[in-house]
Amino acid sequence: MKKFALSVITGLIVLIISATGCRSTKPEIEKVNSLRVKILSYNVKNCVGMDGVINYQRVADIINRIDPEIVALQELDSATQRSNGVIVLNELASLTNMFPSYSASIDYQGGKYGIGVLTKEKPLGWKVVPLPGREERRSLLIVELDKIIIGCTHFSLNEEDRLASVYIVSNAFKNYSKPVFLAGDLNSVPESMVIKSIGSYWNILTNPSFPTIPSHNPGKCIDYILGIKATNYSFQTRQTIVEQEPVASDHLPVWASIEVRYH
């Protein structure tokens, strides 16, 4: 009788172990239908505040407080006489613990002047696309991350150049299958032909009724965050804010928390 009972117990143990082992060989696959990202766009004017003081920590503190995954920055000196040899983007990267990617739009005072992107995630790669600017050359910086693409730009002061840039910028992303964002200073108000033209390719993800310049008494919006129009995904802005920072730069920082929904 004891031998029979022992055999039954042993058999049950084997069955339990076998069933457990079978379950563990079937990985649970969770389908990802959306992702969330916070993007900040900020024309920092080389970190020269409205008080005339160069203060990298002040700008970095604003970025750290907002805590975005991605920062698109405009008006950045790189080792110029004006910046006393400082590479401004690298300085901000160090103070925010983010990865820098830089586009030099022009040579300036022994160094470079242009735009940059900071990311919490190390980029997979980046490239620069030249843009027209008759008063000074402009550029588009494209940074590829694991799940998304971010573009940063600063459009010309000339409307004809800005209109030409709309097509060049939009066409630059045609071979990417990942969701694409664009952020920057477009030097164009919401009712302009430039913004109407860009609406053919992009959705505005920030609120253009929130003015971004001048920082001490803002009266118009020229800084935007956009998402490219696509059939396999869409964007929903969960929150967007223009921060009231009247001293750090002549522009106000604008950010958006965005959900990407895959179709």
Q: What is the mean pLDDT of residues 150-158?
A: 98
pLDDT at residue 32, as a whole number: 66
pLDDT of residue 15 exceeding 50, the answer is no
Q: What CATH number labels 34-262?
A: 3.60.10.10
CA 19 to chain centre: 48
Instruction: Encode pLDDT of 214-236 as tens digits.
Output: 999 999 999 999 999 999 999 99
Q: What is the pTM of this model?
A: 0.87
Q: Which residues neighbour 226 within 8 Å (Cβ) at sequence distance 6 or greater?
A: 181, 182, 183, 198, 202, 203, 204, 205
Instruction: Encode pLDDT of 92-148 as tens digits.
Output: 999 999 999 999 999 999 999 999 999 999 999 999 999 999 999 999 999 999 999
Q: How many residues does the chain have?
A: 263
pLDDT of residue 7 exceeding 70, the answer is no
More confident residue, 32 or 263: 263
**Weakest-pLDDT range from 9-13, 22-26, 29-33, 48-52:** 22-26
From CA 142, how far away is CA 33, in angstroms rounded? 25
pLDDT of residue 16 exceeding 70, the answer is no
The DSSP symbol for 147 reads S
Instruction: Encode pLDDT of 46-83 as tens digits.
Output: 999 999 999 999 999 999 999 999 999 999 999 999 99
Q: What is the mean pLDDT of residues 243-251?
A: 98
Confidence of residue 25 (pLDDT cuts 50, 70, 90): very low
What beta strand segments (E) does 44-110 contain? 70-78, 99-108
More confident residue, 88 or 12: 88
Distances from the Cα of 12 to the Cα of 9, 20, 125, angstroms: 5, 12, 56
pLDDT of residue 1 exceeding 90, the answer is no
**Weakest-pLDDT range from 23-27, 185-189, 231-235:** 23-27
Q: Which residues neighbour 134 within 8 Å (Cβ) at sequence distance 6 or greater?
A: 156, 158, 161
pLDDT at residue 4, as a whole number: 44
N-term to C-term CA, the chain: 63
What beta strand segments (E) does 155-219 contain? 180-185, 202-204
Q: What is the mean pLDDT of residues 167-191?
A: 97
Q: Which of 247, 254, 253, 252 is nearest to 52 (CA)?
A: 247
Residue identified by tokens 């967007």 is 240
Burial class of residue 125, CB neighbours in 10 A (0-12, 13-18, 19+): exposed
Confidence of residue 20 (pLDDT cuts 50, 70, 90): very low
